[in-house]
């Protein structure tokens, strides 16, 4: 049997295939009962009603079975709600490398609410961009266009 945490952490998000559920911050915990060896995985969707959750649960179970943990439980929790702050730095870099503009991390403390005035183009880095549609290729992304290089790109919505 291999490490269940490593097996689950390697599961790729089905809608954003360049990033794992761990890097995206969906994976909350992987616990193994020392007495029974049963694995319990806790995940949080990016938003309530995310259509990818059934696929993610199935992929987690498949990864755990391949790692020698066929009797796994996958729990979905909604509180605290997922936040784009949970995306790892590696995940943000992978998104940008794939042409998806990651949201900036939220400012901490002081009651200041950050306001995104510009989204930098993941291709050329220009802040001269505009939102084309609030709805992108998936419900958690919006469609943007760069005014400098004229390329369209997805922007992961900040939550």
pLDDT, tens digit (0-9, with 9 covering 90-100), for 42-94: 999 998 888 899 999 999 999 999 999 999 999 999 999 999 899 999 999 99
Q: Does residue 144 fall inside a structural domain? A: yes
CA–CA gap between residue 30 and residue 116 (Å, rounded): 34
Predicted pLDDT at 116? 63
CATH number where 61 lies: 3.30.300.130
CA–CA gap between residue 24 and residue 77 (Å, rounded): 16
This model's pTM is above 0.85: no
Contact 4, 64 (CB under 8 A): yes
| Domain assignment of residue 66, given as a range | 4-82
CA–CA gap between residue 29 and residue 60 (Å, rounded): 12
Residue 124 phi, psi dihedral angles, 5° rounding: -115, -10
Q: Does residue 47 fall inside a structural domain? A: yes
């Amino acid at each position: 049997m291999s490490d269940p945490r490593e097996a689950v952490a390697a599961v790729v998000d089905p809608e954003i295939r360049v990033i794992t559920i761990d890097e995206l911050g969906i994976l909350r915990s992987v616990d193994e009962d020392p007495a029974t060896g049963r694995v319990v995985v806790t995940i949080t969707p990016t938003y309530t009603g995310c259509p990818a959750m059934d696929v993610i649960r199935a992929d987690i179970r498949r990864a755990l079975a391949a790692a020698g943990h066929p009797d796994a439980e996958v729990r979905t929790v909604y509180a605290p709600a997922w936040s784009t702050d949970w995306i790892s730095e590696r995940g943000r870099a992978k998104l940008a490398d794939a042409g998806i503009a990651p949201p900036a991390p939220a400012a901490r403390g002081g009651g200041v609410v950050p306001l995104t005035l510009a989204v930098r183009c993941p291709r050329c880095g220009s802040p001269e961009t505009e939102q084309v549609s609030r709805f992108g290729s998936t419900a958690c992304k919006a469609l943007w266009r760069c005014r400098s290089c004229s390329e369209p790109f997805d922007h992961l919505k900040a939550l």
